[in-house]
Structure 1
Amino acid sequence: MTTTTSVMRSEIAEQPDALRRTLDALLPQSAEIAALAQQTRQVLFIARGSSDNAAVYGGYLLQAHAGRLATLASPSIATTYGAKVDLSGVLAVAISQSGRTEEIVDTMTWAADCGARTVGITNGAGSPIAETADVALVTRAGDELAVPATKTYTTQLAALAVLALGLGAELGADELNRVPDAIEETLAEPGEQLDEIVERLVGVHGAVVSGRGMAFSTALEAALKLKEACYLHAMGLSYADLLHGPIAVVDAETPAILVAAGSGPTLQGTVALAERVVANGAPAYGIGGGSALAGACDLCLPAPDLPEWLAPISLIVPAQLITERLARRLGYDPDAPRGLGKVTQTS
């Protein structure tokens, strides 16, 4: 396997420092967020692409730990239909890596016009989202040159964890501050089975990536990365949805990649899914899930021992490593996937 270092691989390695800078900058803003919490009841996330996957994590986090209903916006309601919706009591959270995607900017402006208070999560200091939101949570990922989002994605997750703390989640900032060191350890020892998983994925045309709860966001983002950089027909599914029919596509030529925290209420179901996949003669590759998931899968990459609410920030890292290595193994440039740019504009 080639040892050439891509920009994507370099930016994957920058994530611990990017997370430290981001947490240092954003944790002091908890009081600003708490002030908005007193004026709002529920949360509306506005995002696309990787940012939308981050919003899925935010939705689970706020509903499970902050007691707030959280939903994903349909931006076309604002930008295409021009509908007016009563958003009084709503906290609209716009997530955009650049802060310049017109659809997201316009939808956040629409939400404010409909009565919502607004938070912007972006890596773009001085961007329209950062400048116009009531509270701007500006991540400190630094410039991201590779098209596939890596450090901008994990710093968005960190910003969402800070948002949850500000909105009243009884979780520990001290635990959040452990995450950068945990990811640093993963990058130092990504797991001896990484290359073998990559080699087994070389000959496949599709894969199912599945998780549930907090880890569902990781499944979606991992599938997106495999599609973007490796041109693999990867489906990101909740394992509950997978069991309702799509599991029929999992076979010897279509492996399952299963992601889970090392503890929490969804781990047992993920292990049971791995056992079912293997029993049906299909490959199952795990990310995280501790010894339980490792024992049920053909191959498994470890993830740091973090509480479930923080696990998605680290679970995506092995998936990023798989994507980058697989792209190069297939002869593709992971830094510049065909047909994609850093900022996607939709109407």
Structure 2
Amino acid sequence: MTSQMRAEIGEQPDALRRTIDALLPRTPDIGALARETRQVLFIARGSSDNAAVYGRYLVEAHAGRLATLAAPSIATAYRRRLDLSGVLAVAISQSGKTEEIVETLDWARDCGARTVAVTNGAGSPLAEAAEVALVTRAGAEIAVPATKTYTTQLAALSVLGLGLGAAVAEDDLRRVPDEVARMIALTEDSPALPEIVEDLAKVPGTVVSGRGIAFGTALELALKIKEACYLHAMGLSYADLLHGPIAVVDAQTPALLVAADSGPTLPGTVALARRVRGAGAHAFGVGGGPELAEACSAALPGPALPEWVAPLGLIVPGQIMVENLARRLGIDPDVPRGLNKVTQTD
């Protein structure tokens, strides 16, 4: 029986196409805010926070603006006022109803920031609180693990990058929906999929690593493994992994390595795969082209997209792997224990 999570994974090409078509005309609105700001502050939790990591690398690497991740507790618990003049505050929430995120965006505005919301909730409190609301067109998402709401958030952040002056090609973004459809078919047919699933079903946990623009994808994949499969999964930049935690990688703790098919972090990811295998552990690749596939024990295909938009397709093989792994472990991926679709934090 097909899970709701798997059905929603399959809806991503259409959801992305609707979102991109709806949001690209909003780049002038973002550009108007860009002229009055110097840096970007991302406000998010959970999967949205992983999307924000992508946004941060995109803005810094391609739009030349300093970008940081907010600590919402500064606003909601410590209640400290900061000087946010010259800051563009971008709040990200799938539902737009997480009170902490709405409160933090209100705080940022009161501290002098200009404001943008990224949400799938049209008319939500978050959308109403922002000067510019980038409302994604994912449609209703029933399964608790975010799939299409996550990838459409990445699409919205790609549009944000374009509006902030990122030196990238808009046509790359327009190619994403078709490439995601191709990725779904390729992953389902990949002989590496059952191999990786069977191996992960036998171990208590894994390390998930990427770097740069792919780092958010590694964090999101680790989160999905934890919430849908109940396995320990440590999401790390490979630079941090090499500073000590690599000691946990062994025959019982394989590494999942995520990379775009090109870009400055690919050689380091390939080198890490070889080091992991040299230590007697399995290294499983997601993306990274033939170089990473050759260095890994097994690898899932990645999207044929430039690095700046690769994360929109790169997470998709991971989503399919997680859904298959959950069912292999006898877990319903649609309703992970202890989780709800909208999480409230204080």
Asked if Structure 1 and Structure 2 have the same fold, meaning a TM-score greater than 0.5 normalized by the shorter chain, the answer is yes
Partner residue, 2:162: 165
Partner residue, 1:194: 193
1:66-215 mapped onto 2 (5 Å cutoff)? 66-190=63-187, 191-215=190-214
CA apart distance, 1:303:
1.0
Paired AA for residue 209 in structure 1 = V
Paired AA for residue 309 in structure 1 = W
Structure 2 residue 56 is matched with structure 1 residue 59: yes
Partner residue, 2:269: 270
SS of the aligned residue for 2:138 comes to: coil
Between the aligned partners of 2:299 and 2:325, the Cα distance in structure 1 is 16
Count residues with an aligned counterpart. 344
Could you list the per-position Cα deviations for residues 9-60 of structure 1 after superposition, in whole angstroms to 9, with x for gaps in the alignment? 0000000000000001000000000000001000000000000000000000
After the TM superposition, which of the residue ranges 265-274 and 303-312 deviates more from structure 2?
303-312
CA apart distance, 1:305:
1.1
SS of the aligned residue for 2:286 comes to: strand
Paired AA for residue 340 in structure 1 = L
Partner residue, 1:42: 39
SS of the aligned residue for 1:303 comes to: coil
Superposed CA RMSD in Å reads: 0.5
Contact 2:253 2:281 in 1 (8 A): yes
SS of the aligned residue for 1:149 comes to: coil
Which stretches of structure 1, 4 residues or more, deviate above 2 A after TM superposition? none
Between the aligned partners of 1:211 and 1:315, the Cα distance in structure 2 is 11
Between the aligned partners of 2:85 and 2:66, the Cα distance in structure 1 is 14
Between the aligned partners of 1:42 and 1:319, the Cα distance in structure 2 is 32
Between the aligned partners of 2:125 and 2:303, the Cα distance in structure 1 is 36
Between the aligned partners of 2:150 and 2:303, the Cα distance in structure 1 is 18
Between the aligned partners of 1:309 and 1:251, the Cα distance in structure 2 is 32
Between the aligned partners of 1:304 and 1:324, the Cα distance in structure 2 is 19
Paired AA for residue 211 in structure 2 = R
Partner residue, 2:254: 255
SS of the aligned residue for 1:208 comes to: strand
Partner residue, 1:322: 321
> TM-score under structure 1 normalisation?
0.99
CA apart distance, 1:192:
2.1
Between the aligned partners of 1:164 and 1:52, the Cα distance in structure 2 is 17
SS of the aligned residue for 1:234 comes to: strand
Between the aligned partners of 2:182 and 2:313, the Cα distance in structure 1 is 10
Between the aligned partners of 1:262 and 1:189, the Cα distance in structure 2 is 15
SS of the aligned residue for 2:42 comes to: strand
CA apart distance, 1:332:
0.4
SS of the aligned residue for 2:209 comes to: strand
SS of the aligned residue for 1:204 comes to: coil
SS of the aligned residue for 1:8 comes to: helix
Between the aligned partners of 2:86 and 2:99, the Cα distance in structure 1 is 25
SS of the aligned residue for 1:189 comes to: helix
Partner residue, 1:225: 224
Between the aligned partners of 1:64 and 1:265, the Cα distance in structure 2 is 11
Contact 2:206 2:253 in 1 (8 A): yes
For residue 24 of structure 2, the aligned residue among 14, 27, 41 is 27
> TM-score under structure 2 normalisation?
0.99
Between the aligned partners of 1:331 and 1:203, the Cα distance in structure 2 is 13
Paired AA for residue 29 in structure 1 = R
Partner residue, 1:294: 293
